[in-house]
Structure 1
Amino acid sequence: MFDWIIDASLKQRLLVLALSLALIFYGGHTIRQMPVDVFPDLNKPTVTLLTEAGGMAPEEVEQLVTFQIETAMNGMPGVTRVRSVSGIGLSVVSVEFDWGTEVFRNRQQVAERLSLVKEQLPEGITPQMGPIASIMGEIMLIALPADPENTSPMQAREYADWVMRPRLLTIAGVAQVIPIGGEVKQYRVEPAPAQMSALGVTLDQIESALKNYAANTSGGFLEQSAREYLIRNIGRTNRLADLQNLAIGARNNQPILLKQVAQVKLAAAAKRGDASYNAKPAVILSVQKQPAADTVKLTRAIETALADLGKSLPAGMAPPQIVFKQANFIEASVSNVEEALRDGAIMVAVVLFLFLLNFRTTLISLTAIPMSILITALTFKLMGLSINTMTLGGLAIAIGALVDDAVVGLENILRRLKRNVTDGTHKPALEVIAAATKEVLSGIVYATVIIALVFVPLFALSGIEGRLFAPLGVAFIVSILASMLVSVTLTPVLCYYLLAPRRRLAAPGAHRNPAGDAAKIPWWSLRFNLHAGEEYSPLVKKLKQWDTHILYWSFDHARPLLTAALAAALLAVATVPFFPRAFLPLFNEGTLTINLLLNPGTSLSESNRGGARAEQLIAQVPEVIHVGRRTGRAELDEHAEGVHYTEIDVDLKRSQRSRNAVLQDIRNRLGVLPAVVNVGQPISHRLDHILSGVRAQIALKIYGDDLDTLRALAAQLRDRLATISGITDLQIEKAVLIPQLKLRVDYEKAAAYGVAPAAVLKALETLVGGEKLAQVIEGSRRFDLVVRLPDSERGPQALQRLLIETPAGRVPLGRIAEIEDGDGPNQVSRDNTRRRIAISANSDGADLSGIVARIRAEIAINPLPTGYFTSLEGQFQAQEEATRLIALLSLMSLLLIFIVLYTRYRSTALSLMIMGNIPLALVGSVVALAVAGQPLSVASMIGFITLAGISTRNGILKVSHYINLCAFEGEKFGKEMIVRGSLERLTPVFMTALVAAFALVPLMLAADEPGKEILHPVAVVIFGGLVSSTLLDTILTPVMFWLWGEKPLKRLLDEHAKQAF
């Protein structure tokens, strides 16, 4: 099938070398230009809708805003789930679409639905779509310290809002910059009701005067003296004195100035969040990238911008500090995997040289590695893939297999060239090399196709696991196919130049060219050759001696050996269900995300004190470098967190202590705080959020209509789950009652004074909640002008005395409204329009599937009331779905392998004989998994899939050689033929297996290093399986062929006498 490629390559040898050099230069350039990231794009297409609703209570936000938006979003094409959180003055609706849908089309659909729903929302409330950003896109946290001695919190926030944020947003690839902390500057007008009453000034007069304050207008054009003038009516000012002296009315022909009825000042806007750095006040900016941006390059551009900003900081302002940088994890992960690639290639070279004891043959074999990697890199570019731990991981896993095809072809070429000299035939070198390559071509092609087939399940995986592992499959398959192409093009050409003729193999004194004078070999190809005249290296000689004795012994004990192997395979299969389960291995990101939840209703100032105390405790841990804290939420943030919520980002340095020991130390120190603590890592938290909407490994959601019942059921379940061993960070979503001050208008009393309740509520909204009436412009900066009562006038007693304008005159609010203490929910969460409350938990490293099984048992003990139900979600759910799908598709892959083998050999017996290597490999992989202490995760199952294809290669090489010996070299079926075929294939079989196994050793060492965590289980499974399948195949495949191969062999020879296998 590929014979013409071999002939064309040998005929156009210089062209092949030229194209190879071009590939090296162009491929190297391409790799340097490719984007680098930690993982493939895991972002499920999601559109986030943010709606600021003033100071509305969560119940009103849910009823008036969230419900309307949810209803409009449901039913759109491609929508899989609609999540929402209604908090204090904020509605966040997340619309999730199917994987593979186009984000711009999704946003267009959402925009169309929003245009229809706007009329149903309260006046002045407008939903906004969040930027196109990945949930994994928070690439950096930057702290701007606000040292009270040198820089006020307001100055720091103003610099962050109007200098740092605009500068960072100009960088290509930045999607959003969200500042939190400091004090937002505001021009504040605080009316004095007593003075207003004394001077007869109404609230409407103040509002009317302020609404158009500091505005410019246009005056058109003026033509005069043959010139045209543009007329500007300038009223803009940013002087506080001008605002204070603003006339708002007149009395007794005397102007009434604003400062006479109100306090006018610069003040800090009402805060719903704060921040600190190393327990000191700061402004923290969260930088989010666009989905396709190169994280590493973007980080460098941001660092350059920060360095430029640092040169022109205001006097006394401390330079920005980086709290968290995702690029650190990316660079460490990619560097570790690149080192594993490099070290694996070195180990491959060592193994090859030990077998060949020949520099040139080793060099020819190793050439397949860089050429295959470069071809794979070009394929990545065409497919739009990035360089990340999964694409590099696919190459690292395949690194040993990349030389397999070249080794098989090279070994056969070398053997045929030697025989060509020793037999005295002296055929032209090109003819010998072409024939030798074609002889093994069929086996190479079929083995490679089978390895590719077993990766088919990876591309059928859905969800995160599919997005995560599909690029690994692409990298593996493309690199294996590329290595096959190299083995039939470049490898024969290099063999011609470097191996034929070989000086010490020729007859004494006969240094002539077997190919004739027309095809002379350069003199430099005869150098750098050790032990060239020996048939085999000492290692191979010894192995063949041992193999000869073992094979003859095995023929005499065939059935007991097969019975023992079958028993071992069945035992391995039976052991698999008892392994602990996990979705993915734990990452080692080098950064922690610690969530602190105080009781809802806790004030921001109290949360700040608790957060600062937590920072001090965390800083005492030896591994901690620095700490950044964010309490509450920022103005632009899409997370509807209350002021009781604190998120602390901790940067760690490596130490002798294990990761679990450090985490436990932090948990113990934070245990003294009156708060619920959840310790995780940034990327891991976001993966959990994608899976369940909760930042934890396990999310138990309770659905129902009544919030009080949901809270009670959650408390009961939490108490029962607390008894389950292995659970940590157990907490209920803080959907509890918070204190409220309710101002309820009495309709009858309001009517008695001739005032409409709506007018009363509008005045209360302005005076108590505050209303933005205008903006004061200072250059490119804009600051809100707000009317609001001073804090001293906003308490229950003061509000009783607040004078309200009525047709009957000013009356105290207490006469027309009731003021009472009450409570209400701090937030309302919904999934697919159903109210829900979530209980979240993490595993302390124990068997995740076992924990989930015990949780399900607890749920089943006491059924919930009618109308209420639970849903258990999280990593385990993805793991269970992936396990079922991989198991089903793996059976399909095995069927495809059988079909391919049967198509080639036309024999069920020979096909099953070759596939017998798969259960033999399972024995070693199960043992290796148990010895390494690894759970059965999606990563380890990928290892099993890979192993199924690699392990069949040995059987194909041996069985094909047995058939070719009988077909072309006159051998008769029997023990001697099988022994000869096994010994002649011992070198390529052992070399291909050992290089594939030893190339994985770097991934097996230092398993907790960034980048290796997810690849370590894959390497462990493949390594163990290769060891067991290679050792057992050395005995069992010859034995099985001796027992059941005679009839299929005879039939093949009768039907395909001249066909090479």
Structure 2
Amino acid sequence: MLNRIIKFSLQNRLIILAAFAFIMVTGTYIASEMDVDVFPDLTAPTVTVLTEAHGMATEEVEKLVSFPVESALNGAPNIRRIRSSSAMGISIVWAEFEWGTDIYKARQIVAEKLATIEGKLPEGVDSPLLAPISSIMGEIMLMSLSSDSIPSMELRTIADWNLRPQLLAIGGVAQVMVIGGDYKEYQVLASPEKMKYYGVSLEELEYAVSSSTHNATGGFINQYGNQYIIQGVGRTSSIQEIGLTLIKQLGSNPIYIDDVAEVKIGAAPKIGDAAVNGKPSVILTLLKQPNANTLKLTERIDATMASIKDQLPNGVALNTHIFRQSNFIKASIDNLQRTLIEGAIFVSIILFFFLWNWRTTAISLIAIPVSLLVTIIVIKLLGFTINTMSLGGMAIAIGALVDDAIIDVENIFKRLRQNTLLPKADREPSIKIIYDASSEIRNSILIATLIIIAAFIPLFFLSGMEGRLLQPLGISFIVAIFTSLLVAVTLTPVLSSYLLINERRLKKQARGSWIERKISYGYRNILQLILKFPRWIIFSSIILFIASLWLITGLGRSFLPEFNEGSLVISVVTPPGTSLDESNKTGRLVEEIMLEMPEVDQTSRRTGRSELDEHAQGVNSSEIDAPFILSGRSESEFLEDVRSKLSLVSGANITIGQPIAHRIDHMLSGTRANIAIKIFGPDLNQLFTLGNKIKREIEEVPGLADLNVDQQIEVPQLRINPNRVMLAKYGIRLGDFMDFIDVAFAGERVGQVYEGQRSFDLVVRYNEKNRNSAEAIENSLIDTPDGQKIPLHYVADVNVAGNPYSVERENVQRKIVVSANVADRDLRSVVNDIQSAISEGITLPENYRIEYGGQFESEERATRMLLLTSVGAIFLIFFFLYMEFKNLKLASIVLINLPLALIGGVFIVYITSGIISIASTIGFISLFGIAARNGILLVSRYQVLQEEGKRLRETIIEGSIDRLNPILMTALTTGLALIPLAMAGGEAGNEIQSPMAVVILG
């Protein structure tokens, strides 16, 4: 078949040239229009269910809201894990589906299951809502509003009603969460004393306030040929008019709302706050929809913000550069593109050095752009994006892309030169020489390419996040390599027929370049020397191989290398029960420390949560984003300094990570840390005790950083326990008593006040002095059915008790998590030491168990699968070798030599990082393919010479020298083209590909 392709190409040269020109133009256009992202979509299909349970205590939320939702979802098809977080007034349930499940199907399944509990949740609990679809790379931008002259309430209103709607209108924006400032609401603050004086009940006040903002419709009338709609206009945005609304008539005296309550515009109770560089601000967090192009979406957001900026009041500063994921994407793509170009330059230099002919060099190099552009076309057709992994596959392949063309053009050039040395009468036509030369090595080229592809097949057996991450790399590598084969059997012969048939030039280089002759001469001498001591060479190889195996046992293990995102995410958690003001103070202290670092010039802080947040963070939790630019020291030194200075902050658990890495950890284990030790059991206090025991047991393990225990402890709670006998004495029903607690102290939203298109809650509650202390609550007045008011302590006991701050569950079991990051040591060794320490030092009570989660699980699973499937790949490689040689002995010789390719890779990993990651493992797999290809080139030539009757020694020397040039060129282009990638491991975008390049280079 390949012969026919070569023949067709040479017979239709202009068609081939036109076809490849079309491919290059099409590929260039598609490349300019394709979506660009930092990674492939790594998000596990997850549906988040949010349920607001206003005023409910944590255990009530867990029992009455989270548990029914979890129970409804349990057993749904394709669900692999259900997690929940219950806190005061909020329940969040995450339903994680099997990889590959369509997210819209998953949402439909969840919606159907939630329909079964419709109406079964307690009164006052909102219906469960599905959070918008997003991804772990969904948080694409943070922006802030700040001002020294405008009140925080006005800033928050601008963010909620000017910025947020316009941002949500941009295609690709999934959610905009606003935090900070004061959330505006219209408040009716009742005075129990005045209500008692005027004989007004809380229920009467509620009804009057509710009716103060209602309109009514009276149908329509027809008069004088016109239709008039009848409307009663009661709705108002004036606090004076609301205050003048009648509650009831007392004799001849009207009782108005403002007779018994203060009507004002005020700030809603805060559940979160924000700051930029330590100064109070309003922060907007933008989440993108899955598959949205981050770079193009960022451009659209910038354009919208530019138009909005001019409409903002004087004195309001809009900062859209707090955090931008696009910066990391641009840096990653730019770095990879640069390494691609630098690799191509290395390839060009090597080719010209060996061939000493710009025409042969150009013919070989044309395979690079053609193969890369075809790869981009295929990636587009498969629905992938251009990202660091797909580009990384091309970068690793850059040297190998010219290998097939090198072998082909080198053989063509050699045969053409040999033809010119013959008498004119004996010479064959150049086209025939080109055809014969290409056909002569077609099988070797095909089998060599198939073997390299076979070496990458194990990647496609990876599941989960590791599969999502690495498969695009494998696809782009395989497509590029296979395309280079097609170039070698089509375009290379055609270009050779145009550029290499000049007789004068061929005669001039008939004996090859002087470099070729010098290398061949030196290699012949070395080969003759080596063949005198075959046993010593074999023995030395075995010793080196054994040494490399011994070194492997001492190498560390990790899943992925550290990303270089250029931004830190610092989680600061103060003890549960800490007020928002105290959390703000701690957060400001951390910001001040970070701003003193020369690498950091800006910080942003979000404390607590926004109203639409998918995390049940209390006001004791802060998240600080700190972009940094390294100057004068390495990232590890910088992080060590950060951890050292932040360790001085007392009374807070501090965890340091990076935005995307943080989210990957959270997706894998439900915790934003490298390692999660999950303790399951029924009692929260016992779980917390076990968590602290484990923390003490493992805190001396080398390499552990940011060691924390979930703060699921009891916090003070003011409990109002009704005395049923006394309630009955005064005729107060229990339901009315509970409604009173809700309205008087938490507040009841009874309507909306509209200011143009803006709407604000209208809330009724007792005034501040009647609800700001336990004593004030005890003495607050409650209505009785006969119109009297009595102190609350007549019918209830008010006391302080403990209540869990939050309850975390996984698969319907309570859990607590001990989390940690890893610094200056490999992940696998740290996990092994942790497991040993816990098994030796911790005895679990009955009904309690421990599970380990984190990146190491993916590393174990991926390594196991790669090793298993690599055995199959080796059998496939052996099959291809046998197809090439039709000789079991020759195929076995090549296969036996493959493990020797490990030697250099193992030694260079030992010298550099000392850690084998999944990326390094893939590098070793690639080495098998490269080594097998070189073995084919060599042994296939030996086979030809043996068939010609040459003696063994003569066959080895002559065959090795004959194949020296192509083998050296292919090995050097494959290896040295990776030098830029191997050297740039510390740059954004190269973190995963660089360890592969290091191994292959070794």
TM-score (ref. length: structure 1)? 0.93
SS of 1:324's partner is strand
Partner of 2:138: 137
Partner of 2:991: 1013
- The answer to whether the 8 A contact 1:85-1:640 is kept is yes
Q: Distance in 1 between matches of 2:85 and 2:346?
A: 54
Identify if the C-alpha distance between structure 1 residues 549 and 762 changes in structure 2 by more than 3 Å, giving closer, same or farther. same
- The answer to whether the 8 A contact 1:131-1:175 is kept is yes
Larger displacement relative to structure 2 (571-580 or 871-880): 571-580
Q: C-alpha deviations, 1:758-799, integer Å up to 9, x for none?
A: 211111111111110000011111100001122221121111
User: Which of residues 801, 805, 817 in structure 1 aligns to 2:796?
Assistant: 817
User: Which of residues 540, 543, 561 in structure 2 aligns to 1:567?
Assistant: 543
Q: Distance in 2 between matches of 1:504 and 1:433?
A: 16
Q: C-alpha deviations, 1:910-966, integer Å up to 9, x for none?
A: 112112342221000001111212411111001111111111111101111222344
- The answer to whether the 8 A contact 1:621-1:665 is kept is no
Q: Distance in 1 between matches of 2:768 and 2:546?
A: 76
Larger displacement relative to structure 2 (406-415 or 230-239): 230-239
Q: Distance in 1 between matches of 2:558 and 2:975?
A: 25
Identify if the C-alpha distance between structure 1 residues 502 and 260 changes in structure 2 by more than 3 Å, giving closer, same or farther. farther
1:547-626 to structure 2, matched below 5 A, reads 547-626=523-602
SS of 1:587's partner is coil
SS of 1:120's partner is coil
Partner of 1:847: 826
Alignment of 1:805 with 2:806, yes or no, is: no
Partner of 1:921: 901
Q: Distance in 1 between matches of 2:936 and 2:571?
A: 55
1:88-167 to structure 2, matched below 5 A, reads 88-125=88-125, 126-147=127-148, 150-167=149-166
Alignment of 1:903 with 2:883, yes or no, is: yes
- Compute the displacement of 1:723 (Å): 1.8
Q: Distance in 1 between matches of 2:998 and 2:319?
A: 44
SS of 1:17's partner is helix
Q: Distance in 1 between matches of 2:730 and 2:601?
A: 65
Identify if the C-alpha distance between structure 1 residues 476 and 167 changes in structure 2 by more than 3 Å, giving closer, same or farther. same
Q: Distance in 1 between matches of 2:640 and 2:300?
A: 37
User: Which of residues 962, 977, 992 in structure 2 aligns to 1:984?
Assistant: 962
- Compute the displacement of 1:146 (Å): 3.6
SS of 2:385's partner is coil
Q: Distance in 2 between matches of 1:261 and 1:227?
A: 45
Q: Distance in 2 between matches of 1:331 and 1:355?
A: 36
- The answer to whether the 8 A contact 1:354-1:537 is kept is no
- Compute the displacement of 1:971 (Å): 4.4
Alignment of 1:684 with 2:684, yes or no, is: no
1:208-247 to structure 2, matched below 5 A, reads 208-247=207-246
Letter in 2 for 1:695: R
- Compute the displacement of 1:319 (Å): 2.4
- The answer to whether the 8 A contact 2:46-2:95 is kept is yes
Q: Distance in 1 between matches of 2:734 and 2:505?
A: 109
Identify if the C-alpha distance between structure 1 residues 978 and 199 changes in structure 2 by more than 3 Å, giving closer, same or farther. same
Alignment of 1:57 with 2:57, yes or no, is: yes
Q: Distance in 2 between matches of 1:399 and 1:704?
A: 53
Partner of 1:284: 283
- Compute the displacement of 1:171 (Å): 0.9
Q: Distance in 2 between matches of 1:576 and 1:224?
A: 95
Larger displacement relative to structure 2 (806-815 or 578-587): 806-815
Q: Distance in 2 between matches of 1:942 and 1:133?
A: 30
Aligned sequence identity (%): 44
- The answer to whether the 8 A contact 2:50-2:91 is kept is yes
- The answer to whether the 8 A contact 1:718-1:732 is kept is yes
Q: Distance in 1 between matches of 2:365 and 2:50?
A: 56
Letter in 1 for 2:852: L
- Compute the displacement of 1:90 (Å): 0.5
Q: CA-atom RMSD, angstroms?
A: 1.2
1:28-39 to structure 2, matched below 5 A, reads 28-39=28-39
Partner of 2:414: 415
1:5-44 to structure 2, matched below 5 A, reads 5-44=5-44
Q: C-alpha deviations, 1:510-551, integer Å up to 9, x for none?
A: xxxxxxxxxxxxxxxxxxxxxx52522232212111211122
- Compute the displacement of 1:232 (Å): 3.0
Partner of 2:271: 272
- Compute the displacement of 1:221 (Å): 2.6
Alignment of 1:885 with 2:885, yes or no, is: no
Q: Distance in 2 between matches of 1:393 and 1:318?
A: 40
Larger displacement relative to structure 2 (877-886 or 82-91): 877-886
Alignment of 1:322 with 2:335, yes or no, is: no
SS of 1:811's partner is strand
Q: Distance in 1 between matches of 2:347 and 2:447?
A: 23
- Compute the displacement of 1:502 (Å): 3.3
Letter in 1 for 2:43: N
Letter in 2 for 1:807: P
SS of 2:281's partner is strand
- Compute the displacement of 1:1013 (Å): 1.5
Alignment of 1:838 with 2:817, yes or no, is: yes
- The answer to whether the 8 A contact 1:278-1:615 is kept is yes
Q: Distance in 2 between matches of 1:64 and 1:411?
A: 76
Unpaired runs of at least 5, structure 1: 507-531, 1025-1061
Q: Distance in 1 between matches of 2:386 and 2:218?
A: 59
- The answer to whether the 8 A contact 2:30-2:376 is kept is yes
Q: Distance in 2 between matches of 1:559 and 1:666?
A: 56
Letter in 1 for 2:988: P
Larger displacement relative to structure 2 (113-122 or 25-34): 113-122
SS of 2:217's partner is strand
SS of 2:187's partner is strand
* Structure 1 residue ranges, 4+ long, deviating more than 6 angstroms after superposition: none
- Compute the displacement of 1:672 (Å): 2.4
Letter in 2 for 1:920: L
Larger displacement relative to structure 2 (892-901 or 178-187): 892-901
Larger displacement relative to structure 2 (890-899 or 693-702): 890-899
Partner of 2:457: 456
Partner of 1:939: 919
Q: Distance in 1 between matches of 2:992 and 2:950?
A: 50
SS of 2:185's partner is strand
Q: Distance in 1 between matches of 2:13 and 2:170?
A: 49
Q: C-alpha deviations, 1:317-358, integer Å up to 9, x for none?
A: 122342100111110011001100000000000000000111
- Compute the displacement of 1:491 (Å): 0.5
Alignment of 1:249 with 2:248, yes or no, is: yes
Q: C-alpha deviations, 1:249-297, integer Å up to 9, x for none?
A: 1112221111110011000011110000010010101100011001111
SS of 1:370's partner is helix
Q: Distance in 2 between matches of 1:771 and 1:335?
A: 54
Partner of 1:963: 943
Partner of 1:471: 472
SS of 1:561's partner is helix
Q: Distance in 1 between matches of 2:538 and 2:175?
A: 64
1:297-696 to structure 2, matched below 5 A, reads 297-424=296-423, 425-505=426-506, 532-533=508-509, 535-674=511-650, 675-696=652-673
- The answer to whether the 8 A contact 1:934-1:1017 is kept is no
Q: Distance in 1 between matches of 2:884 and 2:937?
A: 13
- Compute the displacement of 1:591 (Å): 0.3
Q: Distance in 2 between matches of 1:302 and 1:236?
A: 36
Q: Distance in 2 between matches of 1:770 and 1:13?
A: 83
SS of 2:716's partner is strand
Q: Distance in 2 between matches of 1:299 and 1:580?
A: 39
Unpaired runs of at least 5, structure 2: none
TM-score (ref. length: structure 2)? 0.98
- The answer to whether the 8 A contact 2:208-2:257 is kept is no
- The answer to whether the 8 A contact 1:310-1:320 is kept is no
Q: Distance in 2 between matches of 1:774 and 1:4?
A: 80
Letter in 2 for 1:114: L
Identify if the C-alpha distance between structure 1 residues 811 and 500 changes in structure 2 by more than 3 Å, giving closer, same or farther. same
Q: Distance in 2 between matches of 1:777 and 1:502?
A: 89
Letter in 2 for 1:665: D
Letter in 1 for 2:834: I
User: Which of residues 792, 795, 799 in structure 1 aligns to 2:769?
Assistant: 792
